[in-house]
Amino acid sequence: MQPTVTPEAIDEIREEALGKLDSLEDLDEVESWRVAYLGRKGRLSSILRDIGGLPQEERRAVGAVGNRSRSLLEERLSQRLEAIKSAGLAGLADTDRIDVTLPGRPIAVGRLHPTTQIVREICSAFMAMGFQVVEGPEVEWDRYNFELLNIPRDHPARDMWNSLWIDHRNERGEHNMLLRTHTSPMQARVMEKMRPPVRVIVPGKCYRYEATDATHEWHFYQVEGLAVDDGITFADLKGTLYEFARRVFGSDRRVRFRCDYFPFVEPGVDMSIDCFSCQGGGCRICRDTGWIEIMGAGMVHPKVLEGVGYDPRVYTGFAFGLGPERIAMLKYGIDDIRLFYSNDLRFLRQF
Ligand code: PHE
């Protein structure tokens, strides 16, 4: 049977196709539409293929209608595609768009904790004088924390350090392990391992069973110092600590030593610097005294030397201990030690 391809049949298919096109919502629907009308087996393609079977005189005119219809559908198809694509973009949230002209997000740069900074500053002042940095355990034996430091069990001197004991006992049932209350146990540990000359400083964390307030924390840092050799005198202690004070607090500092008691030194002292804030006139920082205490120190007690096997008739030495948080508080005018470990970024970012 001869197919009947008429201009009217072509018009009908074209109009039907155009009528559907505007209601297509997404790219999948448009593709189905294309296959249905313009695809190889699509309705318009099929009918146009039959034009070849028409008599010569009709072929031209019908062919022209067919070609125009196909061009029109193709043109409208691509318009519809564009419309759907730009509508889709417009529907994107602002956050999905990339504005390549925006400046980049700044990368947050971390910094050292103020305690770490001041510990390093203290250590480098002593390193410049030939001291070597060593570290030790925070969980310590009673033997090092107290006994070898001339603080026997049950001696009232132990009351100077409120201790956090570990649940661990010796064969007599006594607690023998604790969180170190100071860095001084490293004096004994270092001397057990080394022969003189000894010149070490020991930065590290200490713990005390303490009610906290503006000047007391239950954990804090100390920097311990120890120098032992034959012929070391109190003059060496004074000279070394004087030099330290000038390096950290300014070259015009004066120092003051007063008698103080620590069981592991004899004589023992506390060292003060003249107030860098009021230059000695009296102010809040120095509590109107003109002086600020910054550390404990003294000549190593002969019993401590004996305990680690040093002959006290040959060797002498000095030791000192200072609190870096206190030094930082003085240097930077911080009025509450609890700020150091409360992790408040508004505080920490200032250093
Ligand atoms: N360890 C002492 C304290 O914590 C400080 C100190 C160290 C004193 C060394 C003298 C010598 O109080």
105 occurs within a structural domain? no
Answer whether residue 170 shows pLDDT above 50: yes
Mean of pLDDT values over 288-306: 95
Q: Are residues 220 and 128 in the same domain?
A: yes
57-75 pLDDT, tens digit per residue, is 888 888 888 889 899 889 9
Q: Are residues 126 and 81 in the same domain?
A: no
Ligand 1 site, residue 184, Cβ cutoff 6 A: yes
Give residue 328's pLDDT band: very low, low, confident or very high (50, 70, 90).
Answer: very high
Mean of pLDDT values over 32-38: 90
Choosing from 182, 189, 301, 326, the catalytic residue is 182
Q: Are residues 179 and 211 in the same domain?
A: yes
Q: Are residues 214 and 84 in the same domain?
A: no
- How far is it, in rounded angstroms, from Cα 328 to Cα 310? 36
Give residue 165's pLDDT band: very low, low, confident or very high (50, 70, 90).
Answer: very high
Q: Are residues 157 and 280 in the same domain?
A: yes
Angle at CA of residue 109, ends 103 and 110, nearest 5°: 160
- How large a percentage of the chain has pLDDT more than 90? 59
Distance 268 CA to ligand 1 centre (A): 9
- 27, 62, 96 — which closes off a domain? 96
From the alpha carbon of 181, which atom of ligand 1 is closest?
A: 4
Distance 265 CA to ligand 1 centre (A): 9
Give Cβ neighbours of residue 218 (< 8 Å, ≥ 6 apart): 164, 207, 208, 209, 210, 212
Give residue 191's pLDDT band: very low, low, confident or very high (50, 70, 90).
Answer: very high
Give residue 323's pLDDT band: very low, low, confident or very high (50, 70, 90).
Answer: very high
Residue 319 known to be catalytic: yes
106-113 contact pairs (CB < 8 A, 24+): 111/348, 111/349, 111/351, 112/351, 113/340, 113/348, 113/351
Ligand 1 site, residue 262, Cβ cutoff 6 A: yes
Residue 33 known to be catalytic: no
For strands 198-207 and 132-133, give the pairing: parallel
Residue 265 known to be catalytic: yes
Q: Are residues 139 and 33 in the same domain?
A: no
177 occurs within a structural domain? yes
Higher-confidence residue of 307 and 249: namely 307
- 45, 65, 96 — which closes off a domain? 96
Q: Are residues 170 and 73 in the same domain?
A: no
Residue 218 known to be catalytic: no
Distance 258 CA to ligand 1 centre (A): 14
103 occurs within a structural domain? no
Percent helix, strand, coil in the chain, to 5, is: 45, 20, 40
Ligand 1 site, residue 272, Cβ cutoff 6 A: no
186 occurs within a structural domain? yes
Residue 208 known to be catalytic: yes
Q: Are residues 229 and 267 in the same domain?
A: yes
pLDDT in the model for residue 217: 93
Mean of pLDDT values over 133-151: 98
pLDDT in the model for residue 168: 95
pLDDT in the model for residue 93: 61
CATH number for the domain harbouring residue 119: 3.30.930.10
Specify the residue with its C-alpha closest to ligand 1, atom 9. 320
The 8-class DSSP code of residue 106 comes to P
Choosing from 189, 208, 301, 326, the catalytic residue is 208
Q: Which domain holds residue 88?
A: 7-96
Mean of pLDDT values over 135-154: 97
Residue 228 known to be catalytic: no
Distance 198 CA to ligand 1 centre (A): 18
Answer whether residue 113 shows pLDDT above 90: yes
Q: Are residues 304 and 160 in the same domain?
A: yes
2 occurs within a structural domain? no
Q: Are residues 123 and 63 in the same domain?
A: no
207-262 pLDDT, tens digit per residue, is 999 999 988 999 999 999 999 999 999 999 999 999 999 999 889 889 999 999 99
Is 37 within 8 Å of 43 (Cβ atoms)?
yes
Q: Are residues 272 and 341 in the same domain?
A: yes
118 occurs within a structural domain? yes
pLDDT in the model for residue 229: 98
Ligand 1 site, residue 271, Cβ cutoff 6 A: no
- 96, 123, 148 — which closes off a domain? 96
Specify the residue with its C-alpha closest to ligand 1, atom 6. 321
258-295 pLDDT, tens digit per residue, is 999 999 999 999 999 998 888 778 888 788 998 989 99
Number of domains, the chain: 2
Ligand 1 site, residue 227, Cβ cutoff 6 A: no
In single-letter form, the type of residue at position 114 comes to P
106 occurs within a structural domain? no
206 occurs within a structural domain? yes
For 320, the 3-state DSSP assignment is: strand
Q: Are residues 138 and 276 in the same domain?
A: yes
